[in-house]
Amino acid sequence: MQVLYERCAGLDVHRDTVVATVRSPGKRRGSRSTQTRTFRTTMRALAELSDWLACESVELVGMEATGVYWKPVFTSLEDRFTCWLVNAAHLRNVPGRKTDVADSVWIAQLEALGYDVTIEPASAPPA
């Protein structure tokens, strides 16, 4: 399948942490590289997350929209990046064992391919 977004990030957001995976072109032609880091959900840590994503030249950030935990993350990133909210019901199709890292990788993979049906662009309601 054709990659539509070369550099994207998938975030698995929780109350206290955000697991972020950046997907970017690999060293070999046609390969993909992923890097995963975990950040706290404090304002300082979210600023570090934003800076890391910018350093990685991320074009698109996607996060699972469950509960209310995504709102401060979305708000802290939306001025700098295109942010998509992922319908949590669509993520239940994650192949293999469900972990925070697997979720963030899966979101990044779906974004890279631009799955309109699975990932829907949305604007966040006021936090």
User: 123: pLDDT confidence band, cut at 50, 70 and 90?
Assistant: very low
Angle made by CA atoms 48, 7, 101, in degrees to the nearest 5: 65
Token representation of residue 113: 């391919």
23-66: pLDDT as tens digits: 988 788 877 888 999 999 999 999 999 999 999 999 999 887 77
Measured in whole angstroms, the distance separating CA 89 from the mean position of its chain's CA atoms is 16
The predicted model scores a pTM of 0.79
Residue 3 has pLDDT above 80, yes or no: no
Q: Where are the alpha helices (DSSP H) in the chain?
A: 43-55, 70-77, 88-91, 100-112
